Copies of this chain bind each other. A is one copy, B any other.
Amino acid sequence: MFSPQMAGYDRAITIFSPEGELYQVRYAGEAVKRGWATVGLKCSDGVVLAAEKRKLGPLIDLNSIEKVYMIDTHIGAASAGLLSDARILIDYAREQAQVYRLLYDEQADVEYITKRISDLEQAYTQHGGVRPFGIALIIGGVDKNGPRLYQTDPSGIYFGYYATALGSGSTLILEYLEKNYKYEMDINSCIKLTIKSLSLVAESLDADRFEIGVIDAKTKSFRKLTIDELSKLIEEAKNEGLPQRPSA
């Protein structure tokens, strides 16, 4: 029998392979794997979303690169994959959050927003003439059910997570999180755990190379850490001891 590549089962989103696989969706997942490291953690008192920023060149304004986004005052997201695809999904999520407020006069649940994004992603895996979104999102927030953390992928599947990671090096980060994450951690401990886990793969530990968003369960408000806050927490994380990077 032919390989899927030879047989052409991987040339369109509307074609199943004989094993029931959608190869174009799988390939879109490869674009995610090549993205920069991204981490999300559910804490006892909120949610932490973080991403590494790679230095694309000395003349790029790192502040202009966004990998952690506010979706609504109480919901944020972090992405890995094709940045322009991410922007489209984030805009869609923001719009859905506003429409929800208009219709029901209250904030949308985190899962509701996750589901709307995922439904759009699914549609791009079943109808011809398009390609799937080359993006995965970690979506976190605090709603009436408390802190919530979800991850969605190009197929439109989503699950809830305690902690998760995407992008290049995510296997290493996940291993570290599985060993060190604890359900009762508070936001501060989570941020430091995030920094430690990212330090396993990050190009640098400079504060401007991290982007961290936090949603506090009390205020239900998304905000990004300042450079000063980041510097201080990186220092604290260093003092607590960073994990050893694997030798190449």
Give the docked Cα–Cα distance between A246 and B26 (Å).
33
A33, CB-defined interface residue at 8 Å: yes
Q: Check if A157 is an interface residue, CB within 8 A of chain B.
A: yes
CB-contact partner of A159 in B17, B32, B61, B121, under 8 A: B61
A62's nearest neighbour on chain B, judged by CB, is B160
Tell me whether B13 and A24 are in contact (CB under 8 A): no
Is B15 a contact of A15 with CB atoms below 8 Å?
Answer: no
Residues of B within 8 A of A34 (CB): 19-20
Does chain B have a CB within 8 A of A156?
yes
Q: Are B14 and A20 in contact (CB under 8 A)?
A: no
- Residue A64 at the chain B interface, CB threshold 8 Å: yes
A6 to B174, CA, bound (A): 37
Q: Give chain B residues whose Cβ lies under 8 Å from the Cβ of A12.
A: 14-15
Task: Check: A103 CB closer than 8 A to any chain B CB.
Answer: no
Whether A7 contacts B7 by the Cβ 8 Å rule is no
A127: contacting residue among B58, B63, B129, B134, CB under 8 A: B129
Q: Decide yes or no whether A60 CB sits under 8 A from chain B.
A: yes
Question: How many copies are assembled?
Answer: 7
A-side interface size class = 35 or more
CB <8 Å contact, A115 and B87: yes
Contacting B at CB under 8 A, from A25-72, are: 27-34, 56-61, 63-65
Query: Can you list, as one digit per residue, whether each of A110-139 has a CB less than 8 Å from chain B (1) or not (0)?
Result: 010001001101101111111111100000
A8 interface residue (CB < 8 Å to B): yes
Chain B residues with CB below 8 A from A119, complex form: 87-88, 91
What are 5 sample pairs from A and B whose C-beta atoms fall under 8 A apart? A19-B27, A19-B34, A22-B134, A63-B160, A88-B126
Given contacts A57-B178, A64-B160, A127-B130, 15 further A-B contacts (CB under 8 A): A13-B14, A16-B27, A17-B27, A18-B30, A20-B27, A20-B31, A22-B82, A22-B131, A58-B178, A59-B174, A60-B160, A61-B149, A82-B157, A87-B118, A87-B156
Using CB atoms and an 8 Å cutoff, list the residues of chain A in contact with chain B.
1-2, 5-24, 27-34, 56-61, 63-65, 82-85, 87-88, 91, 111, 115, 118-119, 121-122, 124-134, 149-150, 155-164, 174, 177-178, 181
